Homo-oligomer: A and B are copies of this chain.
């Protein structure tokens, strides 16, 4: 039967309250669609630090490795800003990505028609926007060695006497595997991939460009491939984002460009993400799903948060982890329905009005629409 194991890590800030709505949705699919979910709960980020002195315990890490999919809320908050680098909330998330080897981070930037006016961009520039950024997630400057802050006392020219170092390092194999993910996804969309780097300045960017081209020429010659410098990519995303279908880029450029792309849509509270790794013995990929938005500590605990990004992250889990594309599409349609009906959490409330709802009412409405 269709039985799936899930590890739920609500995290910090609004994480727990948006995740509570996802749990309702999961229960609905369990009760009505013949799926059975085996759900575990755990801590990550600041909430784990508060309980255990570390942003991710080894036990939780082991559970994450064993389940079919991890659902994560959000991590971080001002309370943890002055913690040592090694125990900051982010380290929990980065450890999950690295140890589960989740190399392909899928970040759709979609503009929902009912919300197009929320964008700071003109409606005609963003209406109907549907691009997918595939960000490499387990390598590059996020994880490269050597790294650290050292004293540089023997250098009399260095006022301050310190030096900070990080290493951007990519192997050809790391580039090829994420390129394959991008090409595969493009085939199911508009069949176009644009790869972004700074090959005019960085040798790691030259390798990136060559390996993406190699994968294209040898394995995906049917997909249209173009290359763009990342600075121009940032410009083009602002100028005419609809020119893109799938964008593939490295960990750091992907971090920045996908956030810019997300903001173009005007509805950050709507955007899900999937982080996928290699297939496990059961044929399912290692996978973690999380909303693109952060932990929003300023509104945490007030029932104001929009749970849709987190709910749509579960829809991605249905599609990519459980091969339940129809169920995913049903859930996405339910969300669109609720938006079309004018149901709005605070972040979605515009001049044209609508029915204001709390986090949990939004969850209920989506379930009703299912």
Asked if A167 and B164 make an inter-chain contact with CB atoms under 8 angstroms apart, the answer reads no
A94 within 8 A of B: yes
Asked if A234 and B206 make an inter-chain contact with CB atoms under 8 angstroms apart, the answer reads no
Binds B, one of A62-70, A150-158, A327-335, A351-359: A150-158
Answer whether A203 and B147 are a contact pair too, CB < 8 Å, given A166-B168, A169-B165. Answer: yes
Answer whether A238 and B256 are a contact pair too, CB < 8 Å, given A203-B164, A206-B164. Answer: no
**Sample of 16 A–B contacts (CB below 8 Å):** A88-B200, A120-B122, A121-B238, A141-B141, A144-B165, A152-B171, A152-B172, A155-B171, A159-B172, A160-B175, A165-B167, A166-B167, A230-B256, A234-B259, A234-B263, A238-B263
A190 within 8 A of B: no
Q: Contacts of A168 on B, CB cut-off 8 Å?
A: 141, 165-168
A304 within 8 A of B: no
Top 8 A-B pairs ranked by shortest CB distance? A160-B172, A164-B207, A164-B204, A159-B173, A234-B260, A238-B263, A231-B259, A235-B263
Asked if B171 and A158 make an inter-chain contact with CB atoms under 8 angstroms apart, the answer reads yes
Closest residue to A209 on the B side, CB-wise? B164
A198 within 8 A of B: yes
Within the complex, the shortest CB–CB distance from A262 to chain B, in Å, comes to 7
Q: At the interface, is chain A mostly helix, strand, loop or mixed?
A: helix
Asked if A172 and B200 make an inter-chain contact with CB atoms under 8 angstroms apart, the answer reads no
Interface string of A232-243 (1 = CB under 8 A from B): 101101111000
Closest residue to A202 on the B side, CB-wise? B166
A161 within 8 A of B: yes
Asked if A94 and B238 make an inter-chain contact with CB atoms under 8 angstroms apart, the answer reads no
A211 within 8 A of B: yes
Q: Contacts of A204 on B, CB cut-off 8 Å?
A: 149, 164-166
Q: Contacts of A161 on B, CB cut-off 8 Å?
A: 172
